[in-house]
Structure 1
Amino acid sequence: MTEQATWSPDEIDEEVPSAARIYDYLLGGAHNFAVDRCLGEKFLTALPSARNVARLNRAFLRRAVVALAESGVRQFLDLGSGIPTVGNVHEIAHGLDPQAGVVYVDSESIAVAHSELLLDGDHRTAVIQANLREPGSILRHPETRRLLDFSQPIGLLMVGVLHFVPTRADAAGIVRQYRDELPSGSFLALSHFTADVEPDEMAEVVEVMRHSADPVHPRTRDEITKLFDGFELLDPGVVGTAHWRPNEPDASAEQPGGTRIYAGVGRKL
């Protein structure tokens, strides 16, 4: 029997767990189903630090947006934006400049539906339901073109999403298509699961997520670094999320799960 959820779009299959809703569960959100919570618990068994991994990934997103805004970026394209939680990109960006333009993109209907509710009346932010593997449809979408000026630097956010792109789909080629459309001075902020640390543990995570709508495909640090081809990496380079410009540098090394996801920010040359 499926759950009765007034917040769920009618077309959602409530029997198939999704990465967006599992992530929401790990972050303590309420927009998930029993199947998501069940798989989320298996995820926690495979990766006991998973809740902290999710929190650190979210914290990296916040720090990256602030860093880009401080570098003069006033428009953001957030791919795989997920289910809204406190500290969304537009909240951070508008806190620094109310006129900043933000376009969210996600393929998950619940994520899009809740973003639309959150953004009702906000004319400087929009959400598009699309697959990031189709750059053309996103980059030429009317809402993208309404809010983003492609003659000015853009902050491209691909945080915690490319590890859902399998090897055969050529993640580097996908990033390159977006990069080629961005003006010089734009930035890419990216984070990605890796098996470089505790490979057996990550193999268990891969097995757990194989039973969801969004299997995970970890990559090595070298593979993730190559995703930044055409971008100049900002210090400290590609590092664990806990180590990318932490607010409390002395405490970064103590964060459980802080190296399960690599993160970095690069500027287009």
Structure 2
Amino acid sequence: MTVGASSSPEKSRPSIFWLLAAIVVPLVGIVARIDIRDREKLPSDGAFVLAPNHHSEIDPLIVAVATWRMGRAPRFLAKESLFRVPVLGAALRATGMVPVARSRGAAAQALAQAKELAAKRNGVIVYPEGTLTRDPALWPMRGKSGAVRLALAGDLPLIPMAQWGAQALMPRYGKLSLFPPRKPMTVVVGDAVDLSDLRGRTDQAAISEGTERLMAAITGLLEQLRGETAPPERWDPSQHGQTETGKL
């Protein structure tokens, strides 16, 4: 079944997302033409973890609009410190964004977040790379554990996503390019990553295995979009003298 606006409880109830969507979606439509493939693979109801690749500062906006068009409210993980910023913090809370506290243990935090997502039947978008890819050719780099921890903690569907084209609107660490308008972008949703054999485990071996499966799924989807084959090994910033925060 194709997920449409009428199929999701999140879009049948009034919320602040309605107001945001009324403003943001038409604006994005002016600068980007987003094609969504296999949208039926995103659950139309219930909690989930959606994990996209990340190669442009503007691609969260593209992912958010695509998620809304697929019938789900786009909620992201956000640093807990942002929730303490006046106005911004209120906006994050009103839209149900999920706070990440560095002071809390990863396992305990994931369990608490997963329970809340399941109770509210909400989805959350988690960038498994944690930041913009450092790969020179914009392939997904080494993944981090957050998305898999969250999925395992709550036995939630872990949905890989790949998107391509946002770099034409805003190159990595580059400037916004508005012309020509309606730049083509494609988003594809994959089958849920099978974590059934890892269920109930929180050890590092299980987390690493789950993360590898997720990154392989995302890379495979991106290969389809680009019509190319990714390098045999994912880029690891630590092996190239790079930090994982800030500009290259």
| TM-score bucket (shorter structure) | 0.3 to 0.5
If the length of structure 2 is used for normalisation, what is the TM-score?
0.36
